[in-house]
């Protein structure tokens, strides 16, 4: 750890010195720090007029992170910990944001909520998504149920997929080869293969995009003591078609297929096993948009079908379907007053099959006629942008749930911006509530389900400030305090009988999130973020108290970029089942720091980019989850070709 920190300091100072010494390089394009954000209001507003500090991962950022999964990329942003990304490629992912869990983080793709009603947390599995298909990502933290409904309690991750190019035909090819091994191995065999192809373009009023991606990763056991490797194999297909009928009306449609197959071990006995899991997801959707004077009407409608099969000592099958329709009207009164009026409809159902003890065939354990609910939510949101610096974002939503009736959520988010000679200063405060309904699994699973569960409720307070220095730097600091009531936990009711139950006492999560972006020289940029999280003991599972991410980007010349990144994760608490006492024992996972290096170079008139990564340079030996493998030093090499 000390070597890593020392190396960071030395290399950082060395790169800074090179940047100051460079005086006769070709000019490079400087990316401005001013951004346009959408997620907090559904209007394209300047970042400085937003009452939130939103993390935006642009297409330029993604180019500097080639060869990484979407979960890895998101896990490098402030306030976000995605557990499982540094382990075996097939490891289940846990999303920890502001002390929340998977069920409290809402993931959206092209503005549409994506969930899996058959999952315990009703969450979307980021392992299904190919990073090569992604154009940009916005991460909005805090309770956001007013605009996005149940589940948006700690964050909304809005993922925008790539769009068709303006040319009649454009071909993109990307291929990456890499290693995949633990820190105690040194053979560095090529075990990670990632390939994708995309064809897209625009012909008159018609546009199209078709993409396909594949990943195969092997070489690493799921458990730390395992001797057999566990493979991960995924396929992704995406088709988007659009037609612009007139200046006022356009129609976009899409269809996608995502699947993965993964081998996994016996996590109860911590031993090798020939277990296997397969997940398939089919999505189709349509999104018409009608523009009129000062406004627009948009309908996002999607159908999602998920099938999962688990082959283990407890084999099971899951099927789930969901229909989502989100229709909203945006109206801009005078570039100062913006309104959104909408209605969101969701229909979710699932079924599952298992093999009862002593039998050989599957039988239905969850009936879809029972395991189904609908949600119909009208909502309204207003944004006021004044001439004197005051900006206000406020909203109200009426959640109408077929199981739980009606429930109001709301938010109020004023901010104030002061223009200064060197840039601007923005202060912000917000209060927002959220409503998280139990999943179908938690309600209707025959052994553990509880039909009497109450929904979880969240209230979040944020206070923060942001300083922007024109074309040079921006700094933000946010304090958050989140109160959680009716927390749903998996409880031992006695005699080793477990059930999902609400916890009577409330919990509190609070902390600080700091972000700094600076152009140190014309060729050297710094990105830094740090998170401090204070949690009640019952919420602290695998969540670090302190987490730091930093990245230095050095533009060696117009076509060559080098990047050095460092991540520090503090001590974390985990639990492990004790086979002797038949109870869970608390364990402490030691802190760790990871140093990575990335380089890219453009050739063939900048149509082709070759890139390479060295991850975990010092081959740090650490644990992300107790008893499970983590990746040691790794290398990958790839190219991206655009024709």
Listed by start position, the domains of the chain span: 24-642
- Whether residue 2 has pLDDT greater than 60: no
Confidence class for position 111, pLDDT limits 50, 70, 90: confident
Q: What is the pLDDT of residues 52-97, one digit of tens each?
A: 878 889 888 888 888 889 999 999 999 999 999 999 999 999 999 9
- State mean pLDDT over 110-139: 90
Q: In whole angstroms, how far apart are CA 621 and each of 103, 246, 543, 614?
A: 31, 59, 19, 16
Phi, psi dihedrals of residue 122, rounded to the nearest 5°: 60, 30
The predicted structure's pLDDT at residue 492: 81
The share of the chain scoring above pLDDT 90, in percent, equals 69
pLDDT-derived band at 359, boundaries 50, 70, 90: confident
| Exposed e or buried b per residue across 263-288, where buried means at least 16 C-beta atoms within 10 angstroms of its C-beta | bbbbbeebebbebbbebbbbbebebb
Q: Give me the residues paired with residue 501 across strands.
A: 489
* Structure-block tokens of residue 89: 């490629």
What are the CA-CA distances from residue 379 to residues 307, 344, 408 (Å)?
Answer: 32, 8, 10
Residues 5-46: tens digit of each pLDDT: 433 443 343 333 333 333 333 333 333 445 788 888 888 888
Q: For position 349, what pLDDT does the model report?
A: 95
Q: What are phi and psi of 535, to 5 degrees?
A: -130, 150
Per-residue pLDDT of 260-271, as tens digits, reads 999 999 888 889
Write down the pLDDT at residue 179: 96
Give the pLDDT confidence score for residue 39 in this predicted structure: 82
| pLDDT attached to residue 253 | 96
Residue 290, judged by CB atoms within 10 A of its CB (0-12, 13-18, 19+), counts as: middle
Pick the closest to residue 280 from 300, 302, 262 (CA basis).
262
Other CB atoms within 10 Å distance of the CB of residue 22: 16
What mean pLDDT is reported for the chain? 89
Tokens of 454: 């109450």
Q: What is the mean pLDDT of residues 275-292?
A: 95
Residue 561 has pLDDT above 90, yes or no: yes
Name the one residue in this structure whose structure tokens are 């139990």.
Answer: 438
- Which residues sit opposite 176 in a β-bridge? 194, 638
CATH no., domain 24-642: 2.40.170.20
pLDDT of residue 469 exceeding 60: yes
Mean pLDDT score, 493-519: 90
- pLDDT score at 505: 87
Note the Cα 624 to chain centre separation in Å. 18
Residue 456 has pLDDT above 70, yes or no: yes
Q: What is the pLDDT of residue 582?
A: 65
How far apart CA 209 and CA 220 sit, in angstroms, is 35
Which pLDDT value is given to residue 22? Answer: 37
Which pTM value belongs to this model? Answer: 0.89
Whether 411 and 430 have beta carbons less than 8 Å apart is answered as: yes
For position 327, what pLDDT does the model report?
96
Angstrom CA distances, 235 to 192, 396, 642, stand at: 14, 40, 21
Closest CA to 180 of 264, 67, 83: 67
Average pLDDT over residues 165-193: 93
- In the 3-class helix/strand/coil scheme, how is 71-97 assigned residue by residue? HHHHCCCCCEEEECCCCCCCCCCEEEE
């Amino acid at each position: 750890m000390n070597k890593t920190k020392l190396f960071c300091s030395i290399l950082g100072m060395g790169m800074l010195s090179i940047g100051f010494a460079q005086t006769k390089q070709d000019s490079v394009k400087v990316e401005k720090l001013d951004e346009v954000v959408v997620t907090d209001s559904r209007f394209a507003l300047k970042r400085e007029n937003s009452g939130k500090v939103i993390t935006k991962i642009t297409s330029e950022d993604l180019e500097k992170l080639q060869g990484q999964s979407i979960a890895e990329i998101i896990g490098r942003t402030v306030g976000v910990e995605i557990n499982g990304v540094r382990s075996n490629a097939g490891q289940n992912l846990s999303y920890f944001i502001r002390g929340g869990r998977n069920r409290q983080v809402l993931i959206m793709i092209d503005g549409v909520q994506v969930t899996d009603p058959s999952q315990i947390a009703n969450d979307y599995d980021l392992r299904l998504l190919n990073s090569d298909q992604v154009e940009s990502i916005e991460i909005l933290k805090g309770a956001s149920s007013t605009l996005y409904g149940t589940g948006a309690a700690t964050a909304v991750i809005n993922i925008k997929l790539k769009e068709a190019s303006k040319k009649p035909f454009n071909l993109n090819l990307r291929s990456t080869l890499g290693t995949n091994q633990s820190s105690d191995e040194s053979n560095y065999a090529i075990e990670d293969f990632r390939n994708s192809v995309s064809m897209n373009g625009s012909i008159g009023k018609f546009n199209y995009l078709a993409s396909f991606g594949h990943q195969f990763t092997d070489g690493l056991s799921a458990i730390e003591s395992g001797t057999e490797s566990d493979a991960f194999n995924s396929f992704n297909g995406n088709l988007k078609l659009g037609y612009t009928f007139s200046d006022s009306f356009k129609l976009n449609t899409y269809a996608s297929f995502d699947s993965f197959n993964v081998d996994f071990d016996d996590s109860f006995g911590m031993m090798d096993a020939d277990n296997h899991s397969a997940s398939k997801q089919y999505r189709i959707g349509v999104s018409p948009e009608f523009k009129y004077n000062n406004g627009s009407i948009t309908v996002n409608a999607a159908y999602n079908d998920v099938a999962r099969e688990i082959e283990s000592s407890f084999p099971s099958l899951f099927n789930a379907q969901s229909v989502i329709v989100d229709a909203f009207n945006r109206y801009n009164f005078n570039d100062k007053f913006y309104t959104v009026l909408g209605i969101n409809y969701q229909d979710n159902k699932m079924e599952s099959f298992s093999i009862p003890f002593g039998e050989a065939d599957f039988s239905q354990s969850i009936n879809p006629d029972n395991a189904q609910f609908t949600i119909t939510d009208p909502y309204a949101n207003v944004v006021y942008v004044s001439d004197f610096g005051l900006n206000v974002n406020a909203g109200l939503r009426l959640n109408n749930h077929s199981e739980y009736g009606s429930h109001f959520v709301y938010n109020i988010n004023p901010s104030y911006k002061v223009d200064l000679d060197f840039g601007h200063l923005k202060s912000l405060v917000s209060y927002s509530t959220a409503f998280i309904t139990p999943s179908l699994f938690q309600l209707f699973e025959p052994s553990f389900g509880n039909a009497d569960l109450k929904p979880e409720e969240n209230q979040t307070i944020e206070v923060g400030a942001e300083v922007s220095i024109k074309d040079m730097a921006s700094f933000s600091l946010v304090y958050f305090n989140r109160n959680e009531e009716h927390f749903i936990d998996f409880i031992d009711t006695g005699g080793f009988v477990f059930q999902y139950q609400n916890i009577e006492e409330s919990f509190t999560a609070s902390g600080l999130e700091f972000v700094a972006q600076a152009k140190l020289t014309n060729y050297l940029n710094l990105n830094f973020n740090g998170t401090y999280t204070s949690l009640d003991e019952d919420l602290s599972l695998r969540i670090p108290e302190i987490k730091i991410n930093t990245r230095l980007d050095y533009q060696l010349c117009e076509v060559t970029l080098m990047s050095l990144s460092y991540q520090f994760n503090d001590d974390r608490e985990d639990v492990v089942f004790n086979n002797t006492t038949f109870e869970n024992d608390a364990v402490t996972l030691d802190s760790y720091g990871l140093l990575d290096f990335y380089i890219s170079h453009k050739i063939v008139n900048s149509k082709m980019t070759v890139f390479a990564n060295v991850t975990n340079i010092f081959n740090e030996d650490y644990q992300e989850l107790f008893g499970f493998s983590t990746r040691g030093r790794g290398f990958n090499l790839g190219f991206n070709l655009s024709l």
